[in-house]
Structure 1
């Protein structure tokens, strides 16, 4: 992708310009996630089970539909869920909805045997935060020195071992980032629909790599001409 965009004169390095990179589940493996993380590429690659964790799908609704509802009669109010926080299990860091870094409080094993990483907002951060009444159950607790800021925790795969797949899972599941990956389907899938269904390229009519490549490029050329006609030229 980097070489292609550079050759077209669109960008010398697309990754340094805040470009989002999306891919389907066939690219979801630990090595690819590590590559994206180490090079600070803003990528979104969901795993095979990402739909089952999304409440918008029927299966997830049946399985998790009541998990995050407020408890009636307990004095609980709706606050920002953990999914709105940006958690990185590799660096063990967490960014709140106001863009502040929370303090890492360590890892503890829960009753179900899973390890959770705990974070807490600093008092001065939460005390003057304009979102504290929507983020904290008791916003007044940040107003005195013996109080506490917003606390949040996340499940991690194993204690003390960074996992790049978990890092990507938290990115894809985050409510802040779900909308980014949803654009992948609207950008990529219509291309296959147009070429395969509308133009009826269900199979290649030639043999040999060079001939097949030529036939494929011809269909792509027609597809791109249609885009230029309907939407105009891509600005450099």
Structure 2
């Protein structure tokens, strides 16, 4: 036996009589087989993928199967590979991808276009996976936590303009143009005072070259000013507050002093296994106005009769709470404390007044009644209110007048929302919700933490609402898929896919096709037993 200092590999030049199969390089329980089984079980044409319903009789160069490109993207997003150029390289050198795509090597443009063109189908796949996990009993269906997180868009902060910023830019350009205009006038005056020179002195004589440079700079500034004026006019005509010249839908989002040029991703997460059951991408900094839409989307996805929705203080809105209650959703949102303006002035706030539902009146700290006024009023937030007022004579003689009325007021007036009972029930609910609110952050922050910190996905690679929503659907789908694989295990996931296929009455051949392409190493053992169970 020859002694060797190290283990040696096989010669790259050695020919093999029986070369190893690509199948042998992918172990039987490799997660890539789960991707294969899941995509094979999808009805891609029904989901809306381009070319999915193309027949063999179609003319022209055949395109790539959308199923293969979907597998490529699922593998990439699960393994932190999102760039179309990187996916192109990995398809040529990554054995798992070579197995998954059967040695197909699509170009980066084909890969990128698939993500851009099939954004609606990607959203449909994500929704379909939520239905699958619901069928498998992996969601509780009674409690969801809702939150939002900022993601950077494919735009810089400097490419997003507000009306104020555009007005400041125009004023700054005016000053620069004026300064260059004075410079041209000074040059002209200097040339007029100099003694005339013979034209034969040469083309470089005088300062005409400098004047030409200044004129070119002024022309460039004028063009820039015209573009800024056009952007300002377009912004005012649209009624929007911001304008992005790179990504038309990206916005400058500000929270806690930090600004991000991008999007606000909203998600609703089920409490049982922290799976994302509903999500949406918006471009508003504030979460106010998102509670009902997200809770309703989660309720529809879970097909729940009743649902508890947990959210943080940023979602508090009386109109949203009313909408949730009308749709059978019990919302738990901390009540903001407010700025305490009246308390700082030493005056009684609204909480010092008690409402008497029987008499439809408020009782002040001095024991006097504030009775309803005629008519209805609409406040700044759009709520319709009933106003309650005290007696001017009573307030004038009250010993607590200084602590109740402003210096110019002669009586105290209180506004009560016409659906104030909704807020009263919500406040009563929140008294015993400490444990629920403690659970909220542990539920909803898990997916965002995993996607942002483990996967490193803090930004989008595409532009525009449609494409961004398609890419987010890929992120959410890959998070859920990885989570379900960790919960069920490989064989459990494959069994779940087969069960879903049979429950939806898919043909027996389709079920066999999924098993054959994913569990080939165990084919001889699985087919007989499965045939007996399905016959």
Please give the TM-score of this superposition, normalised by the length of structure 2: 0.22
Query: Which structure shows the bigger proportion of residues in helix conformation?
Result: 2
**Which structure has the greater CA radius of gyration?**
2
Structure having greater relative contact order (Cα 8 Å, sep ≥ 6): 2
